[in-house]
Amino acid sequence: MHLTNEQERMLDGEEGPAAAKLLELLVALGEVFEAERLVPVESAHISGVSYKNLGEAGLEWLEEQADLGARARIRATLNPAGMDMDLWREMGVPEEFAKGQRKVIEVFERMGVEPTCTCTPYLIGHVPKFGSQIAWAESSAVCFSNSVLGARTNRESGPTTLASAVTGLAALYGYRLDENRRPGVVVDIEAELKTTMDYSALGYVIGKKLGKTVPYFRGLGRSSLESMKALGAACATSGGIALWHGEGVTPEAGQMKAFLDGLERLSVGDADLAEEVARLTRPLRDPIIVLGCPHSSLAELADIATFVEGRDMGGKLWVFTSRGVYEEAGEAGYIGVIENAGGRVFRDTCMVVAPVKEMGWDEVATNSFKAGHYMASMGLETRIATIRELLTGGSG
Ligand code: F3S
């Protein structure tokens, strides 16, 4: 791989041992993927934040980087942690876990990373420009930034995003290159997409069928920001899709029309979606309703508030969002309405990265296939339904 003189000097330690070590990691990765060179990246979004996944070994690695002088030179935000950093006791998070989690956040702050603790950084002002090279982890955020924003990233990991944050560089391969952003299959949507859950189901079906192949959707219809974040999160979960195009919806779809001839075609109908809903749905006794995977937007919190106003959710509704959106929703009065109805709204974390087993959970109901998929794989009983069905018992 070709390195500039400046990059060679960084590798030789001119910018400190942390930058040298982390650049070494990026160069090794680039060599595996036969990248010709490194490119500057404008922003990083770092995963591997929950103490549940990191454990002591992960924390020690981060501390080592910080002690060696690792400091972010580009904007870098953080994915969710394992608890609300203020309300962890109310979540039932064990004290020992909270201790470890606080250390993780402190070490990231020491390295100049913003402790945003959200998987939707694009909802709180971290919005990469169309065509920009970025280094993002968190599969749903990767899918959103590649597809909806038209930025360029691979599905990065915690260590590689930290390496890019500290060096300002990434290896040029994969979805950073034009030729790998072309679709591999045309998907004709015959299903009626009415709710965010329908888009989540569609993503889940497609991910399962296509694996990592880039889909080109026809017939997505009115696609709100919420439906697009749900679609991407689900297809990244069941398959590993990092980029999708939607005709008339996503910014690169127009230029992809030139590459559609001869592609395999696939159609998805209502029955395909219903089958996946049924697969993750069990008869539950007294589930906790979990919403906000990916983290809720302001519009979703407004909807939830409308549905629960005047009801009694009895502490059995947990909603997850970012601090930025929480603040806006608080000002708009939505948080107050949800809490008056016996719901809880937590920041910094989610149902998947929190230690829910230790918190005593065994049954959850959600509108998110990503959440349902992971919670089922953790051994919890799940139900998938629309927000309206979950909160009011009504349909649609
Ligand atoms: Fe976000 Fe957690 Fe879902 S990180 S996408 S809310 S699993």
Q: Give the percent of the chain with pLDDT over 70.
A: 99
Distance CA 116, CA 322 (A): 7
Going by alpha carbons, the residue nearest to atom 5 of ligand 1 is 294
Going by alpha carbons, the residue nearest to atom 6 of ligand 1 is 293
pLDDT at 395: 65
Going from the C-alpha of 280 to that of each of 72, 238, 385, the distances in angstroms are: 40, 13, 10
Going from the C-alpha of 22 to that of each of 39, 175, 383, the distances in angstroms are: 15, 21, 42
CA of 138 to the centre of ligand 1 (A): 8
Pocket of ligand 1 (CB under 6 A): 80, 119, 140, 233, 293-295, 320, 350, 352-353, 370-371
**In the predicted model, is pLDDT for residue 394 greater than 80?**
no
Compute the average pLDDT of residues 68-92. 97
Q: Give the percent of the chain with pLDDT over 90.
A: 96
Ligand 1 atom, smallest distance to 139 CA? 5
List pLDDT tens digits, range 34-48: 999 999 999 999 999
Going by alpha carbons, the residue nearest to atom 4 of ligand 1 is 119
Does an H or E element contain 193, and which? Answer: none
List pLDDT tens digits, range 178-235: 999 999 999 999 999 999 999 999 999 999 999 999 999 999 987 899 999 999 999 9
Residue 353 and residue 81 in contact, taking contact as beta carbons nearer than 8 Å: yes
Going by alpha carbons, the residue nearest to atom 1 of ligand 1 is 294
DSSP class of residue 179?
G
Going by alpha carbons, the residue nearest to atom 2 of ligand 1 is 350
Distance CA 284, CA 324 (A): 33
Report phi then psi at 182, rounded to 5: -75, 145
List pLDDT tens digits, range 360-374: 899 999 999 999 999
Q: pLDDT grade, residue 396 (50/70/90)?
A: low
User: Pick from 249, 268, 294, 259: which is nearest to 206 by CA?
Assistant: 268
pLDDT at 187: 98
Residue 376 and residue 280 in contact, taking contact as beta carbons nearer than 8 Å: yes
**In the predicted model, is pLDDT for residue 266 greater than 70?**
yes
CA of 259 to the centre of ligand 1 (A): 33
Ligand 1 atom, smallest distance to 353 CA? 2
